[in-house]
């Protein structure tokens, strides 16, 4: 792990959507990181200078490229950040191309956070390509990637016994990016919400199953059934307006999604995710029934977009120094703030 000040880590940002733009701004503001390129598939963004699109007043000469291959051929970088899609089928080829060009990769693709059970073939392929190129790939984020998986795993450290784990995330989604509020159905009628969820036009939260699988693998819980219950709409009992939408009484504020892991019919892990406009109070809570019993509540919750970006920035030095292969958050050294870590030539 580098500790002395030398060179910044050179970063390519892939995906310049809602989150990609914030990640880009945050990279530019961090002294130990250097943004060398931004790539996005959208034709509307091609060749545009990022300083014209970023909300922050930022001085950068970087323009958006639409052809990843030519960027990889012409740019010397250490790592790529991939923020394009929740689907591993979609991000897989992009990640493999980056690994093949000698870059480590961090992605916030939810399905990458623990891909071994849902997408074993893709996981095996990513692991093989990473090892062939002596590089590392990790899926991270605030959730999945931290609050509902790594955090409860770490909290079991002092437990002599663990009987059950319950994690609740109760979030006011009015403070989240518009693409998040859209995917949880804010402003839809209940009927539109059901139809959009059933047709896969909105996804709700993605990652509960991956988080339970990661906890199971980390603690050898021997779960024999992992189930994600259908998302439930949370309905407004009065009209509310936020910066994203006006929600009429009876329409959808957001959703509740629950994932459970069972052993012989007994519920061992429960993840309860609730995100809706004007939810109060906000908190993230882990309750471990065991010896000792542990109850940890983060009052106010962790703001998800800031937290996701923090996870990415902080993981850059850790992933660059990690041994090759496909890794998950339970496999790598403890995440921590790394703003004072530099690359050693
Ligand atoms: N793990 C976590 O905690 C966490 C947290 C936050 C977000 N996420 C996930 O991160 C992803 C990005 O979020 P977002 O809100 O920024 O989404 P977004 O606003 O839809 O942005 C995605 C951007 O990537 C572009 N893109 C798609 N495929 C591409 C490719 N192959 N190469 C280059 N660019 C490509 C899209 O272009 P087009 O519009 O032309 O398709 C779009 O500009 C989402 O799937 C989200 O669920 C995970």
DSSP letter, residue 284: E
Q: Residue 39: CB within 6 Å of ligand 1?
A: yes
Q: How many angstroms is it from 183 CA to the middle of ligand 1?
A: 12
Q: Is 143 in the pocket of ligand 1 (CB under 6 A)?
A: yes
> Given ligand 1 and candidates 13, 14, 16, 19, which is best to mutate, with the most ligand atoms within 8 Å of its CB?
19
Report CA(15)–ligand 1 centroid distance (Å).
6
Query: What are the two backbone dihedrals, phi and then psi, of residue 88, each rounded to the nearest 5 degrees?
Result: -70, -30
Q: Provide the CA 344 distance to its chain's centre, in angstroms.
A: 28
Tell how far the Cα of 21 is from the centroid of ligand 1, in angstroms: 10
Q: Which long-range contacts (CB under 8 A, 24 or more apart) does 196-202 make?
A: 197/230, 197/231
- Measured in degrees and rounded to the nearest 5, phi and psi for residue 310 equal -60, -45
Alpha carbon of 225 to ligand 1 centroid (Å): 30
Whole-prediction pTM = 0.94
Phi, psi dihedral angles at 84 (to 5 degrees): -120, -35
> pLDDT in tens for each of the 345 residues of the chain?
545 558 999 999 999 999 999 999 999 999 999 999 999 999 999 999 999 999 888 889 999 999 999 999 999 999 999 999 999 999 999 999 999 999 999 999 999 999 999 999 999 999 999 999 999 999 999 999 999 999 999 999 999 999 999 999 999 999 888 988 999 999 999 999 999 999 988 888 899 999 999 999 999 999 999 999 999 999 999 999 998 899 999 999 999 999 999 999 999 999 999 999 999 999 999 999 999 999 999 999 999 999 999 999 999 999 999 999 999 999 999 999 999 999 987
Tokens 């002092």 sit on residue: 158
CA distances from 252 to 168, 186, 192, 208, 283 (A): 20, 5, 9, 21, 21
Q: Cα 71 to chain center, whole Å?
A: 25
Q: Where in the chain is the domain with CATH 3.40.50.720?
A: 9-141+306-327
CB of 84 within 6 A of ligand 1: the answer is yes
* 23 Cα to the center of ligand 1, angstroms: 11
**101 CA from centroid of ligand 1 (Å):** 22
> What are the helix (H) ranges across 258-333?
304-320
Q: Confirm or reject: Cβ of 203 under 6 Å from ligand 1.
A: no
By alpha-carbon position, which residue is closest to atom 43 of ligand 1?
Answer: 17
Q: Provide the greatest CA pair distance for the chain.
A: 60
DSSP labels, 311-344:
HHHHHHHHHHTSPSEEE-TTTSSPP---TT--B-
CA distance 332 to 315: 9
Pick the CATH number of 9-141+306-327 from 3.40.50.620, 3.40.50.720, 3.40.1190.20, 3.30.1330.180: 3.40.50.720
Handedness of CA 37, 82, 76, 122 (dihedral sign): negative
pLDDT score recorded for residue 1: 52
Q: How far apart are CA 124 and CA 182, in angstroms?
A: 33
DSSP label at residue 119: S
Residue 307 CB less than 6 A away from ligand 1: no
Q: What is the CA radius of gyration of the chain?
A: 20
What whole-number distance in Å separates Cα of residue 7 and Cα of residue 342?
6
CA nearest ligand 1 atom 19, residue: 17
């Amino acid at each position: 792990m580098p500790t002395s000040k030398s060179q910044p880590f050179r970063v390519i940002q892939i995906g310049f959507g809602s989150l990609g733009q914030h990640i880009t701004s945050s990279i530019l503001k961090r002294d130990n990181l250097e943004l060398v390129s931004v790539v996005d598939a959208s034709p509307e963004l091609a060749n545009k200078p990022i300083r014209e699109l970023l909300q922050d007043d930022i001085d950068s000469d970087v323009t958006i490229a639409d052809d990843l291959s030519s960027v990889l051929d012409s740019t010397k970088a250490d790592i790529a950040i991939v923020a394009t899609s929740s689907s591993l089928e979609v991000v897989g080829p992009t990640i493999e191309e980056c690994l093949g060009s000698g870059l480590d990769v961090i992605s916030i693709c939810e399905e990458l956070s623990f891909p071994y059970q849902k997408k074993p073939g893709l996981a095996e392929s990513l692991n093989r390509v990473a090892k062939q190129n002596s590089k590392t790939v990790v899926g991270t984020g605030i959730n999945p990637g931290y609050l509902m998986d790594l955090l409860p795993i770490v909290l079991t450290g002092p437990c002599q016994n663990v009987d059950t784990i319950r994690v609740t995330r109760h979030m006011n989604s009015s403070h989240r990016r518009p693409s998040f509020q859209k995917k949880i159905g804010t402003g839809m009628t209940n009927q539109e919400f059901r139809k959009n969820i059933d047709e896969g036009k909105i996804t709700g939260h993605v990652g509960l199953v991956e988080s339970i699988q990661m906890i199971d693998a980390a603690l050898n819980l021997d779960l024999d059934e992992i189930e994600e219950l259908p998302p439930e709409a949370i309905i407004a009992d009065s009209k509310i307006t936020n910066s994203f939408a006006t929600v009429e009484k009876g329409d959808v504020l957001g959703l509740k999604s629950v994932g459970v892991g069972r052993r012989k019919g007994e519920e061992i892990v429960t993840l309860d995710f609730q995100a809706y406009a004007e939810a109060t109070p906000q908190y993230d809570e882990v309750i471990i029934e065991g010896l000792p019993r542990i109850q940890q509540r983060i009052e106010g919750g962790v703001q998800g977009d800031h937290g996701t970006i923090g996870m990415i920035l902080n993981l850059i030095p850790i992933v660059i120094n990690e041994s090759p292969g496909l890794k998950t958050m339970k496999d790598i050294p403890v995440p921590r703030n790394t703003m004072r870590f530099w690359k050693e030539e």
